[in-house]
Amino acid sequence: MAMNDSVNILNSAYLAVEYIDSFLPDNPLQQPFKNAWNYMLDNYTKFQIATWGSLIVHEVSYFLLCVPGFIFQFIPYMQKYKIQQDKPETWEKQWKCFKTLLFNHFFIQLPLICGTYYFTEYFNIPYGWEEMPRWYILVGQCFGCAVIEDAWHYFLHRLLHHKRIYKYIHKVHHEFVSPFGMQAEYAHPLETLILGAGFFIGIVVFCNHVVLLWAWVICRLMETIDVHSGYDVPLNPLHLVPFYAGARFHDFHHMNFIGNYASTFTWWDRLFGTDSQFIAYQEKEKKKQCLTKK
């Protein structure tokens, strides 16, 4: 009965979104995107699209999304939004981070990306324009991937903080007490594999078109770079996502090396009480602000 009710609710939600979508104006970018997509299909093999296309999407998205946070360090006005104002970014740390990133991207992640084509072939995942899901289905699938990845990340991340293994793997990521956006994927190769595995679970569950691979890559990078940015910028559109953790939530984890283990949402930490120190810290900060105003 409960399962039937859930299915009915999802069907109703799908029909409601589809009905609303019918009233929205045509997307002016749809035709150029369609032309570009069909050009790609006509001029490149599936292996090239799945492998080199995925690599390009990842690299371009990663470093473009890092640009705002990188620029913020040179803008005095933005410093009031920096969470750990007493720990500015340094060129030495950023250069070290960049070199490690290149190693991880091309010697750890690229071999995994090379398996994308075989994954799409095994599960018969389409590439064509006609089979591409509508935008609201894609958004729902990315949200589902985020929920799954968040659960995986919480429990495995918490395990990596166990005192017997922390210094061997996860300590690398915590080398920077005050994080910055480019540091999001700065990690030990084993951590890249262990926590990165959660990224692929949602793909296995939801993937019905190769475009979801790229959409989920962009969504995941957008989230992880934001929470590592070190800046709590107002009017951040990601804060509209229900239960979104945000930069201040994860920044506390880097400051204290404990608690706030989830990657995207707050519910797992709230359920297991691993956000208790963060909540106490927030209350203390609010009291300080109130005293300052008085």
With cut-offs at 50, 70 and 90, classify the pLDDT of residue 30: confident
Average pLDDT for 87-97 = 92
Confidence (pLDDT) at 291: 62
Evaluate if residue 9 carries a pLDDT over 90.
no
Q: Output the pTM of the full model.
A: 0.90
Longest Cα–Cα distance in the chain: 67
Phi, psi for residue 277 in degrees, rounded to 5: -70, -35
pLDDT averaged over every residue in the chain? 90
Give the Cα separation of 107 and 198 in Å (integer): 19
pLDDT digits (tens, 9 = 90+) for 94-125: 999 999 999 999 999 999 999 999 999 999 99
Give the Cα separation of 112 and 249 in Å (integer): 30
CB 59 within 8 A of CB 218: no
With cut-offs at 50, 70 and 90, classify the pLDDT of residue 292: low
**272 Cβ contact list (under 8 Å, min separation 6):** none
Residue 201 to residues 146, 148, 160, 197, 221, Cα–Cα distance (Å):
10, 7, 19, 7, 16
Where do the structural domains in the chain lie, given as residue ranges? Answer: 50-75+91-230
Name residue 265's beta-bridge partners. 244
Other beta carbons within 10 angstroms of residue 137's beta carbon come to 17
Average pLDDT for 234-244 = 93
Q: Which two tokens stand for residue 124?
A: 């018969």
